[in-house]
Amino acid sequence: MEQKTILLDCDKQQLKDYLTTKYDVKPFVANQVFDWLYKGADFEDMSNISKPLRTLLAQDNVAKSASIIKTLTSDIDGTQKMLYRLHDGNVIEGVLMKYKYGNTLCVSTQVGCRMGCKFCASTLDGLVRNLSAGEIMGQVVAVNVLGQGKRYVDNIVLMGSGEPLDNYDNVVKFLKMVSSDQTLNISQRNISLSTCGLVPQMLQLAEEGLSVNLTISLHNARQQGREEIMPIAKKYSVSEVMSAARNYFQKTGRRVIIEYTLIDGNNDSYSDALALANAVRNMSVHINLIRLNPVKERKLRATSDTNANKFLAYLHKLNVSATLRRQMGVDIDGACGQLRRNYLEQG
Ligand code: SAH
């Protein structure tokens, strides 16, 4: 079977070139198709496009690159978890978190992940494949249409499954497209890219002229301790990651955020807090603490509420800007990545 073309991979000009060349359509028709794509329409819904053309387009192209197949909504805080199906049958998940200042959508950048972090469910089966730029966009489009004409996705975090910088070109292409006024016009300042610390790509990203926020999944500021929970730490040391983070701030002026998942007895002692404070000294950073979401396939346990607050107090005493993130959607959220796994296991 011939590979289908994901139309959301194209920007407006590329789509125009592609459709006018391949199907001999008028440029204004290409623009109509482009508008439909961002309304989350499938070909059959494109009512101002002729039926024969719709049929033709559907044969070798994909309009909805990510289709929502299941939504769970939290009774507590309105958080929504989505399962999406991709055109090849792969399934990914996403989360929409509702805050006072707007809705934040967490998107996936890969099916699976090859980074092997010991606490994470997304990496249990390794990397299945990269998502294309249009498949990352498809997640935003699919959720945005739930706003019924009003913008529903205000902020984006690249914190779903996958390591964004391990899929560098597609992710950068997505960042440029989604922030363009021809598409969803989401400001780059409202987008955060989270990485486990791929140093060369962090340095490269600093040169792209983007103003997206960078989040570093540090989780342990001590080299040996970090290696125990994050295999990537053997390749890039804590100090290399932190200096790449400093460089990102210097080049872009965007403050760096450090993610720190608290794991019982692993990274939550006073000396861990001290190491963390030392690692971020003289940096413009904020630390986001989150208690581990236990993953049933893994043995690690979450730090207790009391100890998490103690850890936070240590950091404050050491003059480090930090907050303990409240967990959202706890009633629908087995753990990060668990919705997809449950779905796959049940077949
Ligand atoms: N690969 C990227 C983005 C995906 S994970 C990265 O490493 O940053 C998004 C965030 O969730 C990361 O900080 C990750 O370490 C964290 N995370 C993964 N599994 C978790 C779990 N079970 N509990 C709490 N946080 C988790």
| DSSP-derived secondary structure for 25-83 | --HHHHHHHHHHHHTT--GGG-TTS-HHHHHHHHHHEES-SEEEEEEEE-TTT--EEEE
Q: Which helix (H) or strand (E) holds 117?
A: none
pTM, two decimal places:
0.96
Looking at ligand 1, which residue's alpha carbon is closest to its atom 1?
Answer: 163
For residues 333 and 111, give the distance between their C-alpha atoms in angstroms, rounded to a whole number: 19
Looking at ligand 1, which residue's alpha carbon is closest to its atom 21?
Answer: 293
57 CA to centre of own chain: 30
The rounded radius of gyration (Å) of the Cα atoms in the chain is 21
214 lines ligand 1 (CB under 6 A): no
Instruction: Write the CB contacts of 200 (distance below 8 Å, at least 6 apart in sequence).
Output: none
103-161, pLDDT tens digit by residue? 999 999 999 999 999 999 888 889 999 999 999 999 999 999 998 878 899 999 999 99
Instruction: With cut-offs at 50, 70 and 90, classify the pLDDT of residue 272.
Output: very high
Looking at ligand 1, which residue's alpha carbon is closest to its atom 4?
Answer: 159
Question: Among 73, 117, 216, which residue's Cα sits nearest to residue 158?
Answer: 216
Mean pLDDT of 319-323: 96
For residues 270 and 266, give the distance between their C-alpha atoms in angstroms, rounded to a whole number: 11
**Which atom of ligand 1 approaches the CA of 219 most closely?**
15
CA 56-58-61 angle, to 5 degrees, is: 105
pLDDT of residue 56: 97
Higher pLDDT, 74 or 206: 206
For the beta carbon of residue 274, count every other beta carbon within 10 angstroms. 15
pLDDT of residue 347: 57
Phi, psi of 220 (to 5 degrees): -165, 125
Instruction: With cut-offs at 50, 70 and 90, classify the pLDDT of residue 213.
Output: very high
For residues 165 and 175, give the distance between their C-alpha atoms in angstroms, rounded to a whole number: 12
Q: For helices 168-178 and 133-144, give the axis angle rounded to 10 degrees.
A: 40
Specify whether 93 is catalytic.
yes
Instruction: With cut-offs at 50, 70 and 90, classify the pLDDT of residue 265.
Output: very high
Of the candidates 93, 135, 163, 259, the residue annotated as catalytic is: 93
